[in-house]
A and B are shown apart, each in its own frame.
Chain A
Amino acid sequence: MVTTLAKRAMTTKGQKATMVIDHLIGALGSDSSSSLRRAMILTDIAQYSGTTQVAIMKRLNLDKSTVKREIDWLFDYGCIRLSESAADKRAKTIEIYGYSKEKMKAAMAYFDGQYEYMKMFLDGNINFLRQEKPTLRDAKIVATLHERGDAAKAEILSEIDGAASTNHRSYNKLVDDGVIVDG
Chain B
Amino acid sequence: MDKVKDGYNEILAAFDLGADSLFINTIDLTAHFETKGTPSTLPKVLFGASSDSNQTLEM
Contact = CB atoms under 8 A, between A and B. Distances in A.
Q: Do A and B bind each other?
A: yes
B39 interface: no
B14 A111 contact: yes
Given A112-B22, A114-B21, A128-B8, A120 B14 contact: yes
A69 B15 CA distance: 30
A106 to B, nearest CB: 15
A112 to B, nearest CB: 4
Contacts of A110: 15, 18
A121 B14 contact: yes
A150 B17 contact: no
Contacts of B8: 128, 142, 146
A14 interface: yes
Contact residues of A: prevailing secondary structure: helix
A16 interface: yes
Contact residues of B: prevailing secondary structure: helix
Contacts of B46: none
A182 B3 CA distance: 6
A150 B3 contact: yes
A80 B7 CA distance: 34
Given A121-B11, A124-B11, A128-B11, A179 B17 contact: no
Contacts of B21: 112, 114
Given A13-B12, A121-B11, A149 B3 contact: yes
Interface string B15-42: 1111101100000000000000000000
Contacts of B7: 128
B59 interface: no
Given A112-B22, A114-B21, A124-B10, A179 B4 contact: yes
22 contacts: A8-B19, A14-B12, A16-B12, A16-B15, A17-B11, A111-B14, A111-B18, A112-B18, A120-B17, A121-B15, A124-B14, A145-B2, A146-B3, A149-B3, A151-B2, A151-B3, A153-B2, A156-B2, A181-B2, A181-B3, A183-B2, A183-B3
Interface of B: 1-5, 7-8, 10-12, 14-19, 21-22
